[in-house]
Structure 1
């Protein structure tokens, strides 16, 4: 380990410390972040304070859980630093969620709920994550707790956990994600495309909110989602009896995404090199209109959603037999290889989740409050961004002896990024 990493950390943290605008907090912040990065398996407050030797448990706990200070200025600095590291018009903003298994029921937001990262229902906290990424390098910039109904329906429980008043109304994960995306946009951070799994992409309002903001997106979709072929026409049938129809209706019935691609042409596509060679899967893509428009009552008295905007429907068949479906508003001339590479770029957030937990103790916080959980999560993201900055510097030094940088294209944007860092396996998050 580089013996001078702590000196580098102090210099790198200077803008964060300045944003705290308080002498004691300015001392606690570097100690907390250094405790997350440094040695030791457990990254909760008590063992970090014991290892530091410079500060007591009470002081460090007060800083993260009870001190009166605003996280927003530090979050703004984190976004600025992340943009400097990986911001790129050809990059990605990845939306996902990560689960933190918990025992008991008193930690804020903990409840039996489905955890996509665990693939099952578990007693856990679930946080919506936002990751800025380019060149296969992720920097996480947002972690926001999702509150299930068992919490939002219990005002006393919310008050005991210190949940802010403006968070007492129930919000879905896609709604939390849109709030976070707006925060990233307002910061000026650069990215070219929003990525998300089917937990978000299957929400019509989520996709529509992205489009309303003028964003490009490629998101997962339920195989059961009904879609129309792109050439569907809206007709105005003449009623034989009764009142004349007021609205146009589709001239074709919708079918599931799975059924529409079942007869499509599937082809083997390789999107990047992994540790064991090129990564390939079978993909198929067709232009469709998702059935997520306004609802009309049909002649047989069924309620049917009208066609939405024209988009790409993409299917993936994995070697395991598993099939996945996606939808994207990338341009009509986008190649299937670019569609596949864009969809698969979401993997970097899973890498970030793993490293934040295994290396930096994201899930080690033992407090129960809303404030403490979010401040601890913010400190882990700051620590992670610092380590990524060192990794990029080290990779930059190595690249000086290489030839001209490779470039790629996404959605009409020219990529200005240098040669990929080949982050195809989970790297160590030591301070290099």
Structure 2
């Protein structure tokens, strides 16, 4: 709070921001304004709702503080920027950017918002450091009435997800984030403009691409599909290496790499699952020569952003919001990212240096280092509010039921108006 306090000009939103963050770190079941206000001891959700909607503060400025905070604690050792998106399933059509679209969160087409995120991953840990709300072109960008109702600024125009990723990467590098690599899935790896922008900045990349991607091998005139190239490789072309440690230990795959096009530092990287034989493909570029093990390491880091999403949603309420406005979405998401960065920083700073005999059998009985869920559990106990009186519980029960009754009357009235008369 000391870092971001100056972003709030008045004491009221500053106090509300602190209460909001403590609520995000608490054990509250659903971290929306109503339950966070009850957790904070407020008699109504007004202060929390004003914090997200009307109070004067700049969520992008707090995002800048968050980005610097994360970089300070994560360090720069082997830094990789990871870009990915996540969905927020919603009902109705009023929430900014919502429409029926595919989201990996649900694994199918759903009525949802989609946010594009940037994570910083180093040898010490990982954290989300930037976010953009994707605004669909047809259903939102060309509908002034809908844009105005959701508070979308006139300056915000349609941008593809790779363009949003490029904006965030550029902003992070311009802010002094030290990273030598960028990685992302096919949605970003297939975009030539994004890859060209990274090469222009001298930032290496390992980007997933489709099996149908065509590459030119050995200066050949005719490009070949990536899966066709993989099928022609001899057994000696494959090397077994770990893509980093997962929940169950090292993640071993078979890997092959080939020089492509005319650049000596441009490769097609192929990953083969040892059990199923399933293949994955990556386009790689680096400003200097690097070994296969480095490309494998960067490819493996991409999964860290999925861990960030899971932790942000389960530990900091990233997807618990109930807001429709453009400004409110960015404010809640930013504060949830800050809460996660705080937990991550505590986990990183509390981790002891690995002992020289870390693999000794006796070490297997040592406890693992503090994790983000464990730290939040401990903080919940430390900041647990005093026992709530029966009067306070009944007050909030009456508040919720009154507002639910108002909403029900509104829905019934709307249905009655829309129903044709006989």
Q: TM-score, normalised by structure 2?
A: 0.81
Quote the residue 2:308 is aligned against. Answer: 352
Quote the residue 1:123 is aligned against. Answer: 111
Residues 1:375 and 2:375 are matched in the alignment? no
Quote the residue 1:97 is aligned against. Answer: 85
On the 8 A contact 1:192/1:216 being kept in 2, the answer is yes
The structure 1 segments of at least 4 consecutive aligned residues displaced by more than 4 Å after TM superposition are 307-310, 421-429
- Aligned partner of residue 88 in structure 1, secondary structure: coil
Residues 1:393 and 2:349 are matched in the alignment? yes
Of the three residues 187, 190, 193, the one matched with 2:178 is: 190
Q: CA deviation at 1:156?
A: 1.1
On the 8 A contact 2:99/2:112 being kept in 1, the answer is yes
On the 8 A contact 1:314/1:325 being kept in 2, the answer is yes
Q: Within 5 A, what are the aligned runs for 1:18-417? A: 18-54=6-42, 56-88=44-76, 90-135=78-123, 137-149=125-137, 150-167=139-156, 169-232=157-220, 252-264=221-233, 265-289=237-261, 311-318=266-273, 319-330=275-286, 333-395=289-351, 398-399=352-353, 402-403=355-356
Quote the residue 2:386 is aligned against. Answer: none
Quote the residue 2:400 is aligned against. Answer: none
On the 8 A contact 1:193/1:218 being kept in 2, the answer is yes
- 1:36 to 1:80, Cα distance in 2 relative to 1, 3 A: same
- In the alignment, the residues of structure 1 paired with residue 202 and residue 186 of structure 2 have an alpha-carbon distance, to the nearest angstrom, of 21
Quote the residue 1:9 is aligned against. Answer: none
Greater share of helix? 2
Q: CA deviation at 1:14?
A: 0.4
The RMSD of aligned alpha carbons is 2.5
On the 8 A contact 1:230/1:310 being kept in 2, the answer is no
Q: What do residues 249-293 of structure 1 show as CA deviations (whole Å, max 9, x unaligned)?
A: xxx21111111222222232223333433311111110112xxxx
- In the alignment, the residues of structure 1 paired with residue 321 and residue 230 of structure 2 have an alpha-carbon distance, to the nearest angstrom, of 45
Q: TM-score, normalised by structure 1?
A: 0.79
On the 8 A contact 2:117/2:128 being kept in 1, the answer is yes
- In the alignment, the residues of structure 2 paired with residue 329 and residue 178 of structure 1 have an alpha-carbon distance, to the nearest angstrom, of 16
Structure 1 residue runs of 5 or longer lacking an equivalent are 1-12, 233-251, 290-306, 406-420
- 1:193 to 1:424, Cα distance in 2 relative to 1, 3 A: farther
Q: CA deviation at 1:427?
A: 5.3
Q: CA deviation at 1:185?
A: 1.3
On the 8 A contact 1:136/1:423 being kept in 2, the answer is no
Q: CA deviation at 1:73?
A: 2.1
- In the alignment, the residues of structure 2 paired with residue 266 and residue 308 of structure 1 have an alpha-carbon distance, to the nearest angstrom, of 22
Q: CA deviation at 1:370?
A: 0.5
- Aligned partner of residue 174 in structure 2, secondary structure: helix
Q: What do residues 55-77 of structure 1 show as CA deviations (whole Å, max 9, x unaligned)?
A: 63111101112223222321121
Higher relative contact order (CA 8 A, sep 6+): 1
